[in-house]
Amino acid sequence: MDRETFNHVMEILVSRYPDEVKPAHVAGGDPFKILIGAMLSHRTRDEKTDAAFQKLFTKLPTIQSIAHAKIGEIQRLIRDVGFYRQKARRLRDVSRIILREYGGRVPSDRNELMRLPGVGPKTADIVLTHGFGMAEVAVDTHVETVAKRLGLAGDKASYEEVKRAIHNLANERHLPIINRLFIAFGREICRRPRPRCHMCPVRSYCRYFQLLGG
């Protein structure tokens, strides 16, 4: 797929999903809250993540309060999410590291973010996009599935390869919204494992659909 075609696909998706609302755990623009929300969201549905996020920050509203909280208290507040015991310790560890090494401010450098325990490429890119307004693309399951089906990257492409392929094709103004658009599209139509190709507005540009004989 060339750059012009990809950006035409993007315009179609923008028209279909003009008002997708961000989940609470990535809204608001506070880098620390977005970091914590992204860490909570690992292997957890948005509604469960949002519930835990709201409980946590209602009771422990600052980085200092999380850093000094007892592990049991954090566990109790975030029980809605998967692997909450492991996540509780990581949330406290990350809070303490940010206070100690970064003066309480979340780093805006991708490599520095990924030095924090429990923070991988996707979490770092979520923080950079929603917390610092950078043009990054967080490659979650939906983004990966849609990108590979469209033919932007090969079936065995890694996280970084998928991200690089998107960056090479997308217009700058589309980069910050690709994640939410592909998530909305992936949930409604380009499902994994059974996509609804019959109702897809971009199937004529899709490698996966063409391979099916469409």
Asked which of 57, 86, 119 is the last residue of a domain, the reply is: 119
Residue-averaged pLDDT of the chain: 94
pTM of the model: 0.89
**What CATH code is carried by the domain that includes residue 87?**
1.10.340.30
pLDDT of residue 197: 96
Judgement on whether residues 33 and 85 belong to the same structural domain of the protein: yes
**What CATH code is carried by the domain that includes residue 196?**
1.10.1670.10
Residue 151, by phi and psi: left (phi above 0), alpha (psi -120 to 50) or beta? left
Judgement on whether residues 7 and 35 belong to the same structural domain of the protein: no
Total domains in the fold of the chain: 2
| Distance from C-alpha of 117 to C-alpha of 52, rounded to nearest angstrom | 20
Judgement on whether residues 106 and 142 belong to the same structural domain of the protein: no
Class of residue 113 by CB neighbours under 10 A (exposed 0-12, middle 13-18, buried 19+): buried
Judgement on whether residues 151 and 98 belong to the same structural domain of the protein: no
Judgement on whether residues 13 and 28 belong to the same structural domain of the protein: no
Judgement on whether residues 169 and 113 belong to the same structural domain of the protein: no
Closest CA to 182 of 112, 55, 170: 170
Judgement on whether residues 7 and 57 belong to the same structural domain of the protein: no
Q: Mind listing the pLDDT tens digit for each residue in 36-70?
A: 999 999 989 989 999 999 999 999 999 999 999 99
pLDDT of residue 204: 96
Judgement on whether residues 14 and 53 belong to the same structural domain of the protein: no
Q: Mind listing the pLDDT tens digit for each residue in 155-208?
A: 999 999 999 999 999 998 898 889 989 999 999 999 988 999 999 999 999 999
Domain containing 173 equals 3-19+137-209
- Is the pLDDT confidence value at 24 over 90? no
H-assigned helices in the chain: 3-16, 31-40, 46-59, 63-67, 71-77, 84-102, 110-113, 121-126, 132, 141-150, 159-169, 175-188, 207-211
Closest CA to 42 of 76, 77, 91: 91
Amino acid at 144: E
Judgement on whether residues 84 and 157 belong to the same structural domain of the protein: no
